[in-house]
Every structure is written in C-alpha cells, then in structure tokens.
C-alpha cells in the first residue's frame, strides 16, 4: 500500500468543483455554487475572482495562450481568465458546456451536454460546432489524446468518443451497460483512462479502441474525475466513497479515505508542487502527497 498524507485547506466561496494547475505555479479552481474562479499558490492564501453568480463555472483548464479557460454550464459561456484575473466570456447557444481541454491545434475543445455536440474555440473567440452522430449522448469530460485527437466521455451513451481535428467522430461502446463515464485523462502509458460513475469502475482505452475495465473495491463509490500523477499511476476521486484512489497501468487499485466525512470530492489534478490536489465541494481543497510503498 502506498503511504500518503492528506491535508485539507478550506477556501472561500461556494462549491469547489474542478481544479487544474496554471502556468503561474498556482492551482486554479471553479466555485460552481458562488460563480467564482479561485486561485491558490500551495502554501499561500486563496483568492477569488468574481463571475456572474449564477453562471455555474464547471471545468477549468490551462490554455495554449497562458490563460485559464473554463466552461460556464448554466450561463452557456466559455470563459477565459488571465493569471492576473482579467475575465472574458464567449457566449454560446444554450448547450450546457461542461468539459474543456486544449487541443493539439492550438484551440480549446469543449463538450455541449444539452445539444450533444463537440465545440472548438480559438484563443480569439471563434467558435465551431461539430454535430454529433448520436442523440442524447451527453458528452461530458474531454481530453487531448496521444494521437492528435480529442477523446471524450459519452455519459448517457455508455461510450467513449474520439474526434479528430477535422471533426470526424468515432465511438467506442463500453463493455459494462449503463456505466455513465464522466472523467477522462491521458495516462503516461499512452492510453486513455476514464471513470464510470454509475458502475464504480476505472477503464482504459487504447488509441485503437481496445477497452479494459477495472472494478473498484467499492462499486457504489461513484468515481468522478481522473488525472495522471507523478508516480506512473492515475489518480481519481470517489464522490460517494469520500476517497481518492490510484490505479496503475496493470490495474492495481488503492484507495485512501479523506479526512473529513462527506466532503464530496470532484475534480482532481496534479499540482505545481508535485502533489495531487482534489476539490471538495463542501468547501476545501485536499492535498495528497505520496510517500514510500
């Protein structure tokens, strides 16, 4: 068992949801309930940047332009915030944007849960929409794959999707029915890793579409997000289990209880300090530092 230490840091604002490392050696996170973007340099004092209080900022990611980009789920916008706090918003049709990630083409790619399309926005705000072949798929998280394409979860279609830079989509159905995949990330092994919130499992998809599933010890844990760590493993949150966990390339899974009961871990990311950080929706960030095996 890997020895870890977990420390929690309360942050102001409502509902830390997603988290990422910025280009300024700080953690940036969305505050979905209070309509803010938070910033914390590890060891420092958190600060918030105000958005529309009802905008529902959701996923946040570093952009290719040195700024942070995020989705505003309830306001149907893509947001951009510079490291000194200047905010710009780009209005979308009513589509429920959720996932967002930088692509290999220098643009940001996002998912539209309500309309089921994949979108692309350039750093100067030009938006392209790519229609989706399957209605009601509820595309959720998205990430850049190792193959110059974007990979995304299809939460209500029980599949993983791939879209290339020309907008061509391939769909990979998942083995376990109704598994509801949410988080997805590219692993150090060159595969895509996802978590299935309804089935309580972690999955691995190779770029050619071969899928392997690894059930969690607690199938009711409701895993939500996943990210690569520095230890060769992928780290994930268990929203209902109140845990963080790790999975190695061969499928070995370990889980670790969070200190505070009912803390609702959602987003997870590798921090600028080499630790794994997770956003706890009840009002804190948790730092997971790795010890020896």
Q: Tell me 166's DSSP state.
A: T
Q: Which residues of 177-215 are buried (b: 16+ CB within 10 A; e: fewer)?
A: eebbbbbbbbbebebbbbbbbbbbbbbbbebeeebebee
Q: What is the phi/psi pair of residue 154, to 5°?
A: -115, 90
Nearest CA-CA partner of 134 in 109, 115, 111, 108: 115
Has 33 been annotated as catalytic? no
- List phi, psi (to 5°) of 98: -130, -75
CA distances from 3 to 246, 253, 257, 260, 286 (A): 12, 14, 12, 18, 16
Strand 16-21 to 27-31 pairing: antiparallel
Active-site residue, selected from the candidate residues 49, 172, 266, 293? 266
Q: CA of 29: how far to CAs of 126, 159, 213, 282, 289, in Å?
A: 24, 27, 29, 14, 19
Binding residues: 224, 264, 281
Binding site, annotated residues for Mg(2+): 264, 281
Is the distance from CB of 179 to CB of 201 less than 8 angstroms?
yes
d(CA 177, CA 190): 25
Contacts of 24 (CB under 8 A, 6+ apart): 83
Query: Which residues are documented as binding site for substrate?
Result: 224
Element (H, E) at 39: strand 36-40
Task: Tally Cβ neighbours within 10 Å of residue 139.
Answer: 29
Active-site residues: which are they?
Answer: 266
């Amino acid at each position: 068992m890997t020895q870890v230490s977990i420390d929690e840091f309360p942050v102001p604002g409502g509902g830390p949801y997603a988290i990422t490392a910025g280009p300024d050696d700080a953690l940036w996170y969305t505050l979905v309930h209070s309509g803010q973007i938070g910033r914390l340099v590890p060891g420092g004092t958190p600060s918030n940047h105000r958005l529309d209080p009802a905008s529902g900022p959701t996923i946040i990611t570093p952009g290719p332009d040195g700024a942070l980009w995020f989705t505003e789920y309830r306001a149907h916008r893509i947001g951009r915030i510079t490291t000194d706090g200047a905010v710009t918003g780009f209005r979308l049709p009513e589509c429920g944007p959720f996932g967002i990630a930088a692509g290999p083409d220098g643009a940001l790619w996002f998912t539209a849960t309500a309309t089921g399309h994949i979108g692309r926005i350039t750093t100067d705000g030009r938006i392209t929409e790519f229609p989706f072949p399957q209605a009601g798929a509820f595309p959720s998280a998205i990430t850049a794959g190792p193959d110059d394409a974007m990979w995304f979860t299809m939460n209500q279609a029980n599949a993983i999707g791939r879209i290339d830079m020309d907008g061509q989509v391939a769909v990979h159905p998942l083995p376990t029915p109704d598994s509801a995949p949410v988080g997805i990330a590219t692993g150090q092994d060159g595969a895509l890793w996802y978590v299935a919130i309804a089935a309580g499992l972690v999955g691995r998809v190779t770029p050619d579409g071969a899928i392997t599933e690894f059930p969690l010890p607690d199938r009711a844990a409701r895993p939500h997000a996943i990210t690569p760590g520095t230890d060769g493993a992928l780290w994930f949150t268990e929203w209902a289990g109140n845990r963080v966990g790790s999975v190695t390339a061969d499928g070995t899974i370990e889980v670790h209880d969070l200190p505070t009961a009912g803390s609702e871990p959602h987003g997870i990311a590798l921090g600028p300090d080499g630790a794994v950080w997770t956003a706890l929706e009840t009002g804190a960030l948790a730092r997971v530092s790795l010890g020896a095996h």
